[in-house]
Each structure stands twice: as C-alpha cells, then as structure tokens.
Chain A
Amino acid sequence: MMVDNLLEVNGLTIDYELSGKSFRALDAISFNLERGCVLGVAGESGCGKSTLGLSVIGLLPGKAKIRKGEILFEGRNLVEMKDDQMNREIRGRKISMIFQSPQTALNPVFKIETQMVDVLRNMARYQGENVKNDNVHCRERAIDLLRETGIADPAERISNYPFEFSGGMKQRVMIAMALSSKTSLLIADEPTTSLDVTIGAQIIVLLKELSIKHNTSILYICHDLGILSEIADHIMIMYGGRIFERGKTLDVLGAPRHPYTAALLESLPGRQVRGKHLLSIPGHVPSLDNLPPGCSFHSRCRFAEEICRRKVPPLVEASDRHWSACVLVERRGRQKWG
C-alpha cells in the first residue's frame, strides 16, 4: 500500500535559549501525517506539544532554535525555507493554524468583513491573474466561507465586529479564514478548550466534516484524550519533549503500550466509579530545565528499573504500526498501571 505522506518530521530537535541557558523543548521528534488524516497530539502542559505545532508553521519565538532534524511538507524541507518564501507559498496558504482563544486572534477594532476580505485579497494576489481579487468578489467568497462553517445569516453577520460574536462563532470565523486558501494542513491548538461542551462538540464535528470534504489533514493538539478519541485517526502521546507512544487512536487508547499512557487513562474520573480513588501518578510533570536522565518518566513510573535511569528508551514498533518508547514494552506487552 502506498502511503501519501503530507507531512514528515524527522529527528526534530528544538532548544529554548533563555538567559544564557539552553533547554531542550523537543527531542528527536519523528512522525508522519497522511493526507486527509487527523493526527492528535496529547500530553500534559509543558510537554512540547504547542512548540511542535508552531515549528511546523514556522512561528516559533525567537528564543527557540532548531538544532537538528527536518520538517518535510509535500517533500520540501520547511526548516531550510526562508521566511519570505514561507509567507509566499506555505504559511496561510497551504498550512493554516487556529488557536485556543479566538478572541485574541481577531482584531477587535475591525469588522469581520474587513479582516476576512483582507486575507482573501492577499491570497488571491498569489493565485494568478485570472483570480478576481476585488472587494465585491472577496466579500462574496467570505460569506460563502462563513456559511460553510455554520454561521447563520452570514450576509448580515459579516458586517459585525468580533465582540458581537460569541466564542464559538469567533472560532468558526477563525476556521473560515484558515480555509480561505486551499489549505492542505490545518494545525489546531486546543481549538475547543475555551468553549462550552455543547459548542465544542459542534466545532469538533465541523472540523471533521471539513477535513473529509476538502481532504485536509489536521494536526490536532489537545490535552483532552476524550476529544482526541473522537476526532483523531492517529494519536501521539508526548512527555518532556519526547514522543512516548504513537499509533492508531483505538490501539493507543484501547491497549496502551507505555505505562505513562496507561496511567493517564486510569486517572480520568469518567472511567472510575464513585467512592473509588482515582489513580494519581506520584510526583510532578518535570520542567524542561530539570529533566531527569534516562527515561524522563522513570522517577514517577512504578515499573522503573535500573536501565530506565541510564538509557533514553528509543521509540520502537511494539506491534503493527504502534510505537512505544519504553524499554519494558517487549516484556510487558499491553500496559496497565494498577
């Protein structure tokens, strides 16, 4: 079977340089994302999942330095691409991003119309001479996009200001803007975290539908394993800047091969009955400037052995297309914590 990889990340290593010190934020991250698929990235705060998203679209802050590795998008290495070329050909055109808080992503003093037409005219300028880029056409296209993302009365609502939209509607506007070019990769960083459950559910369904309709791949960054279980085809569990486990969503969440994933699943209140204690993983998520040597999880892992303290476990294929970075994986098979 021929796999059509839209995005291939190989050995990506990123350091943050803060006041003369260097912290490893991502350590040898490798994965690929097939065209039209949704890849979920999960992990607790500080695991590097947002850094990963920003690195793919080339929006890392200045203090972040890519040390090693490549990001191949449609076969081209984005790490080596100049910023103006990124702007002209990739960012906002083939790769778009939506963020956690749609209220800060829209400019409060311009109408939705102004902001959307701006984006569309800018897009059209690079799409050849036949593309009409006058205000009237762009406005019509903007209304179509708003309708596609489920805004009622788009022709009326387009002349509103962002404050007249609810959080869910603002996120719909962000999605509409992200779709305004022929986006083949959408990076979604916690897009429903600031929204209510019923509104979040609407947005998840919308993203899934759009992904199928336009064959768009989504890199879906989210701390909520429940959401990823519903939207993602594949899932990646990160911890301390490394990938701990990767595979099909049903495999990873149904039969985890890494103790950390197993522990996370067992600490969710939705799976436990009233009166029984939840699993709480001892210790804290380590900060990046103080990662323990060897496996960064060994100090909290109840199965840790001598070798875990010394050796960084490589990501190995534990079963068919299911990878785990745990030295005990061969001996223990499917992981359970309790």
Chain B
Amino acid sequence: MGLDLIEIKNLKVHFFLGKGLLSKLFGKGLSIVHAVDGVNLSIQKGRTFGLVGESGCGKSTLGQAIFRLVESIGGEVLFKGQDVLKMSHKGVRNFREKAQIIFQDQFGCLNPRMTAGQIIAEPLRIYRSLKNDDGDLHQKVSELLEAVNLTPEAALKFPSEFSGGEARRIGVARAIALKPDFIVADEPTSGLDISTAATILNLMQDLQERLDLTYLWISHNIDEVKYMSDDIAVMYLGRVLETGKTQDVFKNMAHPYARALFSAVPKVGAGQRENKILLKGEIPSPINLPSGCRFYSRCSYAEKKCRNEEPQMVDLGSGHYAACSLL
C-alpha cells in the first residue's frame, strides 16, 4: 500500500438558495442543495483516482472544494496530513503550489487578453518571483510548452488562435509549471474530438510518469476513467456509492446504480444489446433528497428498508466498498 497523499473525510458542500430579498420579504425558507454530502476517499501517491458520475452528482464541486474554490461546511481534506480546510491564507497559498487543477472549460480558464506565454508564466512570476524580462522565465516557458508538445512560438499567440486540444494543453502546461505533486483534472477531454482526446490522454500519462504526479481524474466518460485510473469512485447525488480498485470494481460491480451506469455506456461492436440495464426516471433534485437510499426511486431492486434507512458502506474486501443495504 502506498502513502495517502490526499485524504477526504466526510466532506460536505451545501449551497444555500433563496437568500435573496424576495424570499426574505415573503418569508420563504432556505433551500439547500446537497452538492457534496459526506464523501470519504483517499488518493495514494503516484496513482490516478477516477471519479465518475452523471451531471449534478457533485464530482466537479468536490474537485473545487479540495482547493477551497468553494467553501465546505464540514469534513476534512488532508493533504500530506494537514487539513486544507483549516489552513490560514498563507497555508492555502503554499498548498496551491503543490496542488493544481485543470479546468473543464479549456477556453474559459484562459484569459483571452493574455498570450499563452504570459498565462504559463503567471504561476512562475507569483511563486518563483521571476520577472517578465528574465531570460530564465522565457527558458522555463519554452520548456513547459515543449513538455505539452507545443512549439515555443505558441508563447506569442492568444487563446483564440488555438484549437480546443491546443488550448487544453496550455491549461496543462500552466498546471505543471510549479512541479506540483497533485493535479485535479476536471473533464480534461470534454468537447474534444476522438483523436485529439487520445493525444491528451497519452500526454497526461507521460507527464504522470515523468513528474511523479498524482491525479484526481473527474469525468463522465466511463471508458476513459476505466482506462486511466487505478482506483475509482462512483458518485450519485453527492455521495460515493461504490469505490475500490478499478479492476476490482469492473470485475465485480456491486451497486445497482454502478451496474446500470456502466451498462448504459454505448460500446463499439456490441451491436443492439438486449441485456442493457435501462434506469427508469431521472436523477432526483439534490434539493429535495429522498429519505433512505438516494437511488431508491430509480432502483429496480429496491425494498421497503431502502426507503427508510440510509445504506452504510459495505466492505467487499481489498478496499472495495459499496453503499447498498441489500448486499
């Protein structure tokens, strides 16, 4: 067993709606969105932890909560044993040097009025106190561009002059500029064509090996997570429903939601499958959570007790857990 680089304990992020003037005037109560609602997971050094789930399950919020880009209302995020959520301003600043995030929107996260070179240089200017006219800075930017398979000339271009795949690689170059230990990759291939996505996946694997990186890989693309990750967690409505080593989870899937989710993924060459599990209905709103099991309303195995009791994590051996009362 490796060392835990990041350990998340009972993390909760709730968003409060209805704080506006109108709801105050008319005395409407607060609605609470349970975006992340008690998540536990630990990520070991040098490994890739895949987080899958459908939209609104809280996977991106979880990624942002680690960096305190959204504030959590409870729980702990331990980075090398230190709780990020309790850190001072200076502590967070030091933490963000060692941990970086690659955002989902490859153009939205790049300032359109800065050149690629300036964007990549920014963390170096802030953390390494390198000046703009410093030859060292130019050298470093060129090296970083090369590391993500772009030419040094790209430094002079603006984000709008790049294709989707190239813009994504600039985001990657910025993330590795400070030689971090840990990177959260939030949907790093969304919106890219098949062949471009493959290039990014290859690049991220090479970088992981070269720089000894640990990834939290957030994606709705299950094939991609299966291919990239050593460990995996399936989220639904703010909770982890199943987690374990990727190969164990795929070999012996336990939770009915995980099984339905993986079976719903279209596969090349499968033809028109008869054994596909079709879930009924839609994901309930994270505002009015059903009592008991969150998956109760869509589960075809649901029994009476599922409605009343919140299922606990069941240990299936060698780090494989699932939250279902019927196991």
Contacts and interface: CB of A to CB of B under 8 A. Distances in A.
Bound together: yes
Interface of A: 44-45, 152, 166, 168-169, 196-202, 204-205, 208, 223-227, 229-231, 249-250, 253-254, 263-265, 267-275, 277-281, 284-285
Contact of A264 (B54, B194, B222, B230): B194
Contacts of A264: 194-195
Contact of A196 (B197, B202, B276, B283): B283
5 contacts: A196-B54, A197-B264, A227-B266, A229-B266, A269-B224
Contact of A44 (B193, B222, B261): B193
A270 B226 contact: yes
Nearest to A272: B227
Interface string B185-211: 000000001111111011001000000
Interface string B17-49: 000000000000000000000000000000000
A266 B77 CA distance: 39
Nearest to A224: B266
B55 A196 contact: yes
A188 to B, nearest CB: 14
Given A196-B283, A198-B279, A272-B227, A229 B202 contact: no
B62 to A, nearest CB: 17
Q: Which 9 A-B pairs have the closest CB atoms?
A: A270-B223, A226-B266, A269-B227, A267-B198, A201-B264, A196-B54, A44-B193, A278-B198, A280-B199
Contact of A280 (B202, B222, B228, B268): B202
Contacts of B202: 277-278, 280
Contacts of B198: 267-269, 278-281
Contacts of A279: 198
Interface in B197-250: 197-199, 201-202, 205, 220-224, 226-230, 246
B265 interface: yes
B271 A202 contact: no
Nearest to A284: B163
Given A196-B55, A198-B261, A280-B199, A270 B194 contact: no
A7 B205 CA distance: 46
A318 to B, nearest CB: 19
A229 B223 contact: no
Contacts of A231: 272
Given A198-B261, A280-B202, A274 B246 contact: yes
A230 B223 contact: no
B272 A230 contact: yes
A263 B195 contact: yes
B293 to A, nearest CB: 17
A269 B226 CA distance: 8
B81 interface: no
Nearest to A199: B282
Contacts of A168: 282
B278 A202 contact: yes
B282 A169 contact: yes
B194 A268 contact: yes
A202 B268 contact: no
A264 B264 CA distance: 22
Residue among A166, A229, A249 having the largest count of chain B Cβ atoms under 10 Å:
A229
Given A225-B268, A267-B198, A197 B193 contact: no
A196 B52 CA distance: 12
B278 A226 contact: no
B220 A205 contact: no
A224 to B, nearest CB: 6
A166 B193 contact: no
A198 B273 contact: no
B135 interface: no
A244 to B, nearest CB: 14
Contacts of B1: none
A44 B195 contact: yes
A277 B269 CA distance: 21
Residue among B165, B199, B273 having the largest count of chain A Cβ atoms under 10 Å:
B199
B260 interface: yes
Contact of B193 (A223, A227, A275): A223
B296 to A, nearest CB: 16
B3 interface: no
Contacts of A230: 266-267, 270-273
Contacts of B163: 284
Given A253-B269, A269-B226, A198 B264 contact: yes
B273 A285 contact: no
B228 A198 contact: no
A306 to B, nearest CB: 25
B267 A226 contact: yes
Contact of A166 (B165, B271, B278, B282): B282
Nearest to A264: B194
A229 B269 contact: yes
B11 to A, nearest CB: 23
B228 A229 contact: no
A197 B227 contact: no
Residue among B199, B246, B268 having the largest count of chain A Cβ atoms under 10 Å:
B268
Contacts of A199: 54, 282
A58 to B, nearest CB: 28
Residue among B195, B223, B267, B279 having the largest count of chain A Cβ atoms under 10 Å:
B195
A208 B271 CA distance: 13
Interface string B254-292: 000000110011111111110010110111000000000
A271 B229 CA distance: 15
Nearest to B225: A269
Contacts of A269: 197-198, 201, 221, 223-224, 226-228
A198 B260 contact: yes
Contacts of A273: 227
A226 B276 CA distance: 14
Contacts of B223: 226, 268-270
